[in-house]
Structure 1
């Protein structure tokens, strides 16, 4: 049994506008899983280019879900880092993103070589300076999760998903698909604790033929807890990891 991260789920009051922003930001399109352009009731799905078929073995897509509640002022504890290939590319990307509606934000980063921005509904993300380790990730370099204990997160997520653990220290843990492609998933020791539900979370998918209920039971045994976010009767299961980060286990495709 195994699970794989397949989507970054972003909540938005205007899912269509935020979905279009992220599609333009990443150089992607919107899709319905069969390669066709799609923006449906309550959801906008972003993925790479024409002909893309979800789920892909390594691509982590963006799924923007419409919700009635606006974002609070509390900083998200999950965000995206975008990759760049040169200083010029970084500057060009930041300028393009701002033209699309992104705004600079101060999260206490100080003088750093990356740029911190927020999407049109205030969700923070970073445009990284060129880094060799992210040269082949695609537009999303990292899905970053703030946490209190990266080693504990590495233990849980190392059992939860089938990605490879590349590094773990007291301050940082990093995973990537065992295929050595696509973005990284990183847990960073960060001050503060989780106090409100995040606007951003991961969706995990079982492999074809695997049992969703068995996977959920396995995660509970590892320390995950059931989560009610008002989802009602849906085909996915909402859980939280041992530090309270929300995630969903989707039905096998």
Structure 2
């Protein structure tokens, strides 16, 4: 029994606009199968993506607070020229520079049109084969605890663990990395960005949710009501959802 990360969930006041931003930013297409806007690789909607993660943008009534998100995306580039071109293109799409205390670093920190931070990395060999999303990065106090939980929760493999960071990736060695970076302060506010996980067809969602609770997850009430997904939080309070089934075709 295991779960697979299938999409990054982003809350937005104008979900269609933010969904289009991310689709254009990544060279993907935007789809609106219902109330959400889904960004995935061009060429027709496939869900879940066989390789990588999609982005599902969910409408909410309230804008993002000034607090930095605890989860963000790192985007991959292949050269210094590509990095510069991508930053310029993203800014033309509505991204803005963001200061999260990064100082003088070789990557560029931006925010999407509703203030969700992300990074455009300088070229790094490790991310040559990830696709446009190099990594999903989570701020945490204890990378070791997070690595143990998430390797138990998912079918992804632990590749690196140090006191300051942990790195996971699909066992097939494809798609983005899931990285946990040590920060000094614990999580105190709800996030605008989280991961959605999906059981494999032969597995039961309720049994998977119980297994996650045994690993240290706790139930979470986001006002979801009688929804077909289960909202939980990991040992450091990062929200995530266990989905029930693929959405109907668009």
Question: TM-score, normalization: structure 2?
Answer: 0.97
**Aligned residue pairs: how many?**
246
Between 189-198 and 5-14, the greater mean CA deviation after superposition: 189-198
Q: Which residue of 2 aligns with 1:166?
A: 159
Instruction: Structure 2: state its 5+ residue gaps.
Output: none
Q: Which residue of 2 aligns with 1:156?
A: 149
Select 2:85's aligned residue among 92, 96, 108. 92
Distance 1:51 1:67 in 2: 27
Distance 1:243 1:43 in 2: 27
Q: Which residue of 2 aligns with 1:12?
A: 12
Q: Which residue of 2 aligns with 1:105?
A: 98
- 1:43-62: CA deviation from partner (whole Å, max 9, x where unpaired): 10010011341112332000
Question: TM-score, normalization: structure 1?
Answer: 0.95
1:15, 1:66 within 8 Å by CA — same for their partners in 2? yes
Q: Which residue of 2 aligns with 1:33?
A: none
Secondary structure in 1 matching 2:19: helix
Select 1:198's aligned residue among 172, 191, 196. 191
Instruction: Structure 1: state its 5+ residue gaps.
Output: 31-37
- 1:19-41: CA deviation from partner (whole Å, max 9, x where unpaired): 000000000002xxxxxxx3255
- 1:97-150: CA deviation from partner (whole Å, max 9, x where unpaired): 000000001100000000000000000000000000000000000000000000
Distance 2:72 2:44 in 1: 27
Q: Which residue of 1 aligns with 2:58?
A: 65
Q: Does 1:21 align with 2:14?
A: no
Divergent runs of 4+, >3 A: none
1:74-223 mapped onto 2 (5 Å cutoff): 74-223=67-216
- 1:199-230: CA deviation from partner (whole Å, max 9, x where unpaired): 00000000012100000000000000000011
Secondary structure in 2 matching 1:79: strand
1:212, 1:252 within 8 Å by CA — same for their partners in 2? no
Distance 1:203 1:237 in 2: 10
1:58, 1:181 within 8 Å by CA — same for their partners in 2? yes
Distance 2:84 2:65 in 1: 29
